[in-house]
DNA sequence: TTTAGGG
DNA sequence: CCCTAAA
């Protein structure tokens, strides 16, 4: 029985570390400089820049070594330490600072003991204050079973929410209840679920409308484990930030700019009581590679304390990365990660305070407020506070994006899976999300800026713009298949410009970490990513992917099952737009006459429709010729044979061969037709 | 993974 | 050649 148990983890949001870490490359720094002048960059460029940094950076530096805390801890379930970590994470998340919390809370409820509160309180990272609320909420539900509940709260809701917080939490708790229903009700069943989500509450409650039934997919595969109850769904929806996520923006900090390192960066909010916030920052910085490594987490965790790695001081110039790696999306179901269907608009913004120049986190409340503004009922998801500074004489507007949040993830993993596998699973999920394609949305003064051609100046984004006025959001690509919810919410958002290829986030790990940690850094920025689930990491060109893949590979050994769902917001697929370098088109290699002959000969013998055999027979050693290539070549040969010699291009193919092509084609077509005749007849007979 | 087709 | 739906 035990073995059978699974854990579902829903991570609502991971935060993506602030993009940049100052340390090494520019990219790390979150700072982006843009010209403010009219001629300068347009919003679109800005977006691209942001996205590029986020996604594009392939490698992140892994400096950190230490222990990772954030996520891992959260993830790790083992021992009390683990619990603590979870708690921590919870706290952090709960920390209201910025957004509510983006973190997740993970509480493990072990048999009947509603330990939650304690755990929360205990959470190391978090200052007790921040978290308590959420924690309580989650805590409230006791689950006899082990219940891991991690949630991020995202909120951008207004202050009201803030007040309501407790109530909300409760609700969420109830949401847990859902789980609980699974778990609690059936005490016998042991299930462990972890749900991490950033849920931003969506003012628009389409969510309500959404019933679990509508989104069965997510869970369906493992019904037992998954939470299907409507309530849960609702909750999540409600919580969820809409598809559009907003995140805090960036502030231009001169000061920050100067700093390099993680720790230094003003981003960190060390000062603030909320540790959670602090934690987040750390995460961000880490390079992806490290992230990958299991150690990665730990390191981050360690780093957290001290440093928040924040984006470095140096200003970065934006660059666009075009890495786009991704491949085809697999069906959602197949994909290990489950997507979350709904996305509403969730938005959360960070409060200004957080955004504060120094990187000082703002008080939670502030955040909330900020959020509120950020996510209007209307549903604009995005929001954030950002500041732009303009130095006199400087026509550039600098932005510093502290972090983007990664939207929730769902992980379904067996109870007996190892912590390591859990970590990997999460990592994979995160990776998938990031790899799915994102696009950036810009919100300025409460409105989405859709005109990519406008300059920053024209838009009003210049040195003197106000802090909260500018926000960026990560939006999922519309491409994704399912996005039932997401669409609704924000389809409006989508309309943005076409996505450009974004580079990948520098460090996935970071993201994750953050996530775990919880909304730590969020304060500033919340981002929502949409995720897709693309299964193929392979395709991903960027280094990240490589790293990721490794991870995943490793993890696989350990983890049997994982289902993660990423949600997709509505959005445009980033990747699609352009194929980044990563996915280069294979070089064109015209077939030589000899190859054509070999092909013709093989087809004459084997017939069409057996391309694999043809490949094996005639091109077994031609690694670059795939059976698809052979098939395509045959197709073109047939076409070539049918057209007049004058219309043919390229290296001329002996007419003799072309004749054979036509002959063989006709023959095999006939054969095929005969087969068809028989089959159908049988079918008819049956009918 | 292959096949089959459209792009 | 690429991309995908189907199988």
Taking only the tens place, the pLDDT of each residue in A243-277 is 333 333 333 322 222 322 222 332 323 333 332 33
Locate A613 and state its tokens: 């055999």
Rg (CA), chain A: 26
pLDDT greater than 80 at residue A654: yes
pLDDT greater than 50 at residue A625: yes
Q: How far apart are CA A408 and CA A563, in angstroms?
A: 12
CA of A625 to C1' of B2 (A): 15
CB of residue A617 closer than 7 A to nucleic acid strand B? no
Residues 581-620 of A with CB under 7 A from strand C: 583, 585-589
pLDDT bracket for residue A404 (50, 70, 90)? low
CB of residue A650 closer than 7 A to nucleic acid strand C? no
Q: Could you report the per-residue pLDDT of A174-231, keeping only the tens digit for each?
A: 222 222 222 222 223 222 232 323 322 222 233 333 223 333 333 333 332 222 222 2
Locate A672 and state its tokens: 């095929």
- The CA distances from residue A176 to A77, A232, A241, A321, in Å, are 18, 7, 18, 40
Q: Can you tell me which residue has its alpha carbon closest to the C1' of nucleotide B2?
A: A612
CB of residue A627 closer than 7 A to nucleic acid strand B? yes
Mean pLDDT (whole number) for A29-39: 32
Mean pLDDT (whole number) for A71-90: 33
CA of A326 to C1' of C4 (A): 15
CB of residue A330 closer than 7 A to nucleic acid strand B? no
CB of residue A560 closer than 7 A to nucleic acid strand B? no
CA of A331 to C1' of C6 (A): 13
Locate A334 and state its tokens: 């197949």
Q: What is the pLDDT of residue A422?
A: 77
CA of A628 to C1' of B7 (A): 15
What percent of chain A has a predicted confidence (pLDDT) above 70? 17
Neighbours of A584 (CB within 10 A): 9
Strands A31-35 and A396-400, sheet pairing: antiparallel
CB of residue A37 closer than 7 A to nucleic acid strand B? no
CB of residue A381 closer than 7 A to nucleic acid strand C? no
Nucleotide nearest A613, from its CA to each C1': B2
Nucleotide nearest A672, from its CA to each C1': B4
Mean pLDDT (whole number) for A423-438: 65
Q: How far apart are CA A496 and CA A525, in angstroms?
A: 20
pLDDT greater than 80 at residue A171: no
User: Do residues A651 and A592 make contact, with C-beta atoms less than 8 angstroms apart?
Assistant: yes
User: Do residues A155 and A350 make contact, with C-beta atoms less than 8 angstroms apart?
Assistant: no
Q: How far apart are CA A166 and CA A522, in angstroms?
A: 20
Locate A364 and state its tokens: 């939670």
User: Do residues A245 and A448 make contact, with C-beta atoms less than 8 angstroms apart?
Assistant: no
Locate A278 and state its tokens: 């602090």
- The CA angle A661-A662-A666, to the nearest 5 degrees, is 115
CB of residue A329 closer than 7 A to nucleic acid strand B? no
CB of residue A628 closer than 7 A to nucleic acid strand B? yes
What's the mean pLDDT when you consider all of chain A?
44
Q: What is the pLDDT of residue A638?
A: 92
Q: How far apart are CA A9 and CA A444, in angstroms?
A: 34
Q: What is the pLDDT of residue A426?
A: 73
Helix axis angle, A275-285 relative to A294-306, nearest 10°?
130
Q: How far apart are CA A542 and CA A518, in angstroms?
A: 26
Q: How far apart are CA A247 and CA A15, in angstroms?
A: 10
Query: What backbone torsions phi and psi does residue A413 show, to the nearest 5 degrees?
Result: -140, 145
CB of residue A610 closer than 7 A to nucleic acid strand B? yes
> Pick the residue with more confidence: A684 or A336?
A684
CA of A330 to C1' of C6 (A): 13
Mean pLDDT (whole number) for A113-123: 29
Neighbours of A593 (CB within 10 A): 12
Nucleotide nearest A630, from its CA to each C1': C1
| Nearest one of A306, A261, A285 to A62, comparing CA atoms | A285
CA of A488 to C1' of C4 (A): 27
Neighbours of A678 (CB within 10 A): 9
CB of residue A639 closer than 7 A to nucleic acid strand C? no
- Strand C nucleotides, any atom under 7 Å from protein beta carbons: they are 1-5
Residues 470-509 of A with CB under 7 A from strand B: none
CB of residue A334 closer than 7 A to nucleic acid strand C? no
Unique residue bearing structure tokens 């990948």? A504
CB of residue A674 closer than 7 A to nucleic acid strand C? no
CA of A659 to C1' of C3 (A): 30
> Pick the residue with more confidence: A611 or A307?
A611
**CB-based burial of residue A53 (10 Å sphere; 0-12 exposed, 13-18 middle, 19+ buried)?**
buried
CB of residue A565 closer than 7 A to nucleic acid strand B? no
CA A273 and chain centroid, separation: 28
- Strand B nucleotides, any atom under 7 Å from protein beta carbons: they are 1-7
Helix axis angle, A655-686 relative to A627-642, nearest 10°?
110
Residues 556-585 of A with CB under 7 A from strand C: 579, 583, 585
Nucleotide nearest A616, from its CA to each C1': B2
CB of residue A452 closer than 7 A to nucleic acid strand B? no
Q: Which residues contact A165 (CB under 8 A, 6 or more apart)?
A: A96, A100, A133, A134, A368
Q: Is A53 helix (H, G, I), strand (E, B) or coil?
A: helix
Nucleotide nearest A610, from its CA to each C1': B3
**CB-based burial of residue A312 (10 Å sphere; 0-12 exposed, 13-18 middle, 19+ buried)?**
buried
pLDDT bracket for residue A647 (50, 70, 90)? confident
CB of residue A623 closer than 7 A to nucleic acid strand C? no
CB of residue A535 closer than 7 A to nucleic acid strand B? no
pLDDT greater than 80 at residue A659: yes
Unique residue bearing structure tokens 């609980």? A180
What percent of chain A has a predicted confidence (pLDDT) above 90? 8
Q: Which of A267-271, A398-402, A604-608 has the lowest mean pLDDT?
A: A267-271
Neighbours of A531 (CB within 10 A): 35
Nucleotide nearest A591, from its CA to each C1': C1
Helix axis angle, A275-285 relative to A508-517, nearest 10°?
170
Q: What is the pLDDT of residue A646?
A: 87
pLDDT bracket for residue A453 (50, 70, 90)? low
Nucleotide nearest A635, from its CA to each C1': B5
Q: How far apart are CA A443 and CA A474, in angstroms?
A: 11
> Pick the residue with more confidence: A685 or A526?
A685
CB of residue A634 closer than 7 A to nucleic acid strand B? no
Q: How far apart are CA A269 and CA A277, in angstroms?
A: 6
pLDDT bracket for residue A628 (50, 70, 90)? very high
Q: Per residue in A224-233, is it b (16+ CB within 10 Å) or e — as a string?
A: ebbbbbbbbb
CB of residue A678 closer than 7 A to nucleic acid strand C? no
User: Do residues A318 and A55 make contact, with C-beta atoms less than 8 angstroms apart?
Assistant: no
pLDDT bracket for residue A402 (50, 70, 90)? low
pLDDT bracket for residue A115 (50, 70, 90)? very low
User: Do residues A405 and A104 make contact, with C-beta atoms less than 8 angstroms apart?
Assistant: no
Q: Where are the alpha helices (DSSP H) in A452-532?
A: 456-459, 484-490, 508-517
CA of A503 to C1' of B6 (A): 30
CA of A601 to C1' of B3 (A): 20
Q: What is the pLDDT of residue A421?
A: 73
Q: How far apart are CA A337 and CA A604, in angstroms?
A: 45
Q: Could you report the per-residue pLDDT of A310-327, keeping only the tens digit for each?
A: 332 222 222 223 333 333
pLDDT greater than 80 at residue A606: yes
pLDDT greater than 90 at residue A611: yes
pLDDT bracket for residue A680 (50, 70, 90)? low
Mean pLDDT (whole number) for A233-241: 25
CA A242 and chain centroid, separation: 14
- The CA distances from residue A504 to A69, A113, A441, A518, A547, in Å, are 23, 42, 16, 21, 12
CB of residue A327 closer than 7 A to nucleic acid strand B? no
For residue A522, how many C-alpha atoms fall within 13 Å in the half-sphere facing its CB? 55
pLDDT bracket for residue A651 (50, 70, 90)? confident
User: Do residues A315 and A33 make contact, with C-beta atoms less than 8 angstroms apart?
Assistant: yes
| Nearest one of A139, A220, A145, A130 to A175, comparing CA atoms | A139
Q: How far apart are CA A114 and CA A107, in angstroms?
A: 9
């Amino acid at each position: 029985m035990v073995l059978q148990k699974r854990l579902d983890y829903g991570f609502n949001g991971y935060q993506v570390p602030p993009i940049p870490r100052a340390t090494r490359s520019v990219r790390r720094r979150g700072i982006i400089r843009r010209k403010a002048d009219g001629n300068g960059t347009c919003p679109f460029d800005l977006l691209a820049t942001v996205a590029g940094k986020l996604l594009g950076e392939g490698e992140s530096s892994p400096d950190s070594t230490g222990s990772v805390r954030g996520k891992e801890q959260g993830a790790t379930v083992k021992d009390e330490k683990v619990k603590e970590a979870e708690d921590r994470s919870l706290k952090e998340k709960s920390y209201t600072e910025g957004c509510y919390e983006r973190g997740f809370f993970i509480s493990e409820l072990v048999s009947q003991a509603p330990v939650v509160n304690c755990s929360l309180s205990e959470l190391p990272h978090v200052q007790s204050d921040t978290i308590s609320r959420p924690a309580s909420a989650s805590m409230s539900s006791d689950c006899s079973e082990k219940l891991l509940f991690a949630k991020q709260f995202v909120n951008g809701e207004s202050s009201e929410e803030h007040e309501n917080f407790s109530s909300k939490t409760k609700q969420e708790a109830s949401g847990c209840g859902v789980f609980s229903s699974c778990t609690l009700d059936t005490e016998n069943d042991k299930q462990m679920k972890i749900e991490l989500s950033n849920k931003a509450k969506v003012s628009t409650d389409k969510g309500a409308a959404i019933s679990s039934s509508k989104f069965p997919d997510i869970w369906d595969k493992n019904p037992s484990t998954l939470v299907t109850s409507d309530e849960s769904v609702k909750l999540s929806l409600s919580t969820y930030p809409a598809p559009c996520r907003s995140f805090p923006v960036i502030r231009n900090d001169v000061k920050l700019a100067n700093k390099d390192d993680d720790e230094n960066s003003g981003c960190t909010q060390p000062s603030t009581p909320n540790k959670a916030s602090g934690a987040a920052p750390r995460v961000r910085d880490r390079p992806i590679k490290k992230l990958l490594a299991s150690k990665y987490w730990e390191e981050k965790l360690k780093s957290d304390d001290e440093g928040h790695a924040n984006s470095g001081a140096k200003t970065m110039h934006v660059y666009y990365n075009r890495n786009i790696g991704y491949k085809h999306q697999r069906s959602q179901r197949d994909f290990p990660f489950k997507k979350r269907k709904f996305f509403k608009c969730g938005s959360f913004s960070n409060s200004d305070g957080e955004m504060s120049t120094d990187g000082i986190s703002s008080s939670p409340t502030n955040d909330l407020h900020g959020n509120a503004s950020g996510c209007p009922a209307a549903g604009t998801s995005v929001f954030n506070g950002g500041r732009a500074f303009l130095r006199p004489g400087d026509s550039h507007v600098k932005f510093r994006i502290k972090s983007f949040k990664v939207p929730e993830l769902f992980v379904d993993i067996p109870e007996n899976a190892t912590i390591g596998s859990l970590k990997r699973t999460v990592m994979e999920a995160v990776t998938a999300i990031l790899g799915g394609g994102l696009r950036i949305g810009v919100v300025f003064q409460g409105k989405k800026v859709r005109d990519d051609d406008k300059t920053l100046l024209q838009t009003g984004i210049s040195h003197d713009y106000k802090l909260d006025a500018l926000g960026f959001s990560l939006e999922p690509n519309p491409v994704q298949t399912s996005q039932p919810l997401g669409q609704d919410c924000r389809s409006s958002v989508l309309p943005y410009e076409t996505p450009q290829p974004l580079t990948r986030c520098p460090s996935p790990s970071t993201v994750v970490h953050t996530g775990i940690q919880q909304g730590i850094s969020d304060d500033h920025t919340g981002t929502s990513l949409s995720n897709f689930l693309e299964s193929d990491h392979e395709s991903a060109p960027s280094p990240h992917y490589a790293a990721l893949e490794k991870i995943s590979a490793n993890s696989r050994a350990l983890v049997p099952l994982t289902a993660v769902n990423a949600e997709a917001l509505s959005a445009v697929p980033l990747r699609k737009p352009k194929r980044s370098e990563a996915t280069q088109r294979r070089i064109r290699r015209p077939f030589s006459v000899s190859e054509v002959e070999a092909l013709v000969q093989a087809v004459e013998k084997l017939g069409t429709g057996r391309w694999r055999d043809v490949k094996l027979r005639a091109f077994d050693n031609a690694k670059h010729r795939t059976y698809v290539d052979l098939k395509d070549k045959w197709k073109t040969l047939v076409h070539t044979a049918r057209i007049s010699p004058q219309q043919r291009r390229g290296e001329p193919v002996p007419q003799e061969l072309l004749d054979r092509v036509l002959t063989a084609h006709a023959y095999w077509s006939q054969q095929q037709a005969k087969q068809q005749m028989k089959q159908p007849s049988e079918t008819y007979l049956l009918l």
